Homo-oligomer: A and B are copies of this chain.
Amino acid sequence: MASDSRERMVRSAAVLLREHGYAGTGFRDVIAHSEAPWGSIYHHFPGGKAQLAEEAVRYAGDFVAQLIEHSPPDDPVATLRSFIAVWRQGLEASEFRAGCPVVAVATEAPADQPALGEACAHAFASWERALAATLRRAGVTQARSRRLATITVAAIEGGIVLARARRSTKPLDDVGRELELAIREALPRR
């Protein structure tokens, strides 16, 4: 059978997490947003809210990871730009209300739900791996590629937080500009 209500709930959860965070996203909101049935929440997600959030993090994590992987494979700067562009569009489209769902869960996850934190760590790691692979292919050493990938993810996530607080994309744009400089600097001279 495989009704699609389960997937709709996960997608809606990811959307709502971006704006309202983990604690601020209730089942009632998810139901209303996804137009999914009340009764099947604990049928599809016997682990309750934590399981739903975990799957939403995985869903969003995979989405972004694939976005990075489908960029021009040998142009780290182009990859960076498209990575940033997604987030900037999300910020502008929501009037700076929507951040990153993974950050939301990572900062709010209750201490008694280690699976949530692990899902976030996995999502971040997959992004770093994909970014590092692009740098590696462009001739950057492996260790440096990893560090550059880490600061890229960190600076963009932080830039999103700054942009939301300031209600402006400028912090994110400045972050992108400096990251671009750092990447160009690390590329082998031709």
Q: Which residues on A are within 8 Å of B, measured CB to CB?
A: 19, 21-24, 97, 99, 103-104, 106-108, 110-111, 117, 120-121, 124-125, 146-148, 150-151, 153-159, 161-162, 164-167, 171, 174-175, 177-179, 181-182, 185
Contact = CB atoms under 8 A, between A and B. Distances in A.
Interchain residue pairs A-B with the least CB separation, the first 8: A154-B158, A23-B23, A158-B158, A155-B155, A157-B158, A121-B165, A154-B159, A151-B178
B178 A147 contact: yes
Contacts of A150: 159, 162, 171, 174-175, 178
Contacts of A157: 154, 157-158, 161-162
16 contacts: A19-B111, A21-B108, A23-B108, A24-B110, A107-B161, A107-B164, A121-B165, A124-B162, A148-B178, A150-B175, A154-B162, A155-B155, A158-B158, A158-B161, A181-B182, A182-B182
A161 B101 CA distance: 12
Given A117-B165, A121-B167, A155-B175, 20 more contacts: A19-B111, A21-B21, A107-B108, A117-B164, A117-B167, A120-B165, A121-B165, A124-B162, A124-B166, A147-B178, A150-B162, A151-B178, A151-B179, A154-B156, A154-B158, A154-B171, A156-B158, A157-B157, A157-B161, A178-B182
Nearest to A164: B106
A151 B174 CA distance: 7
A179 B155 CA distance: 10
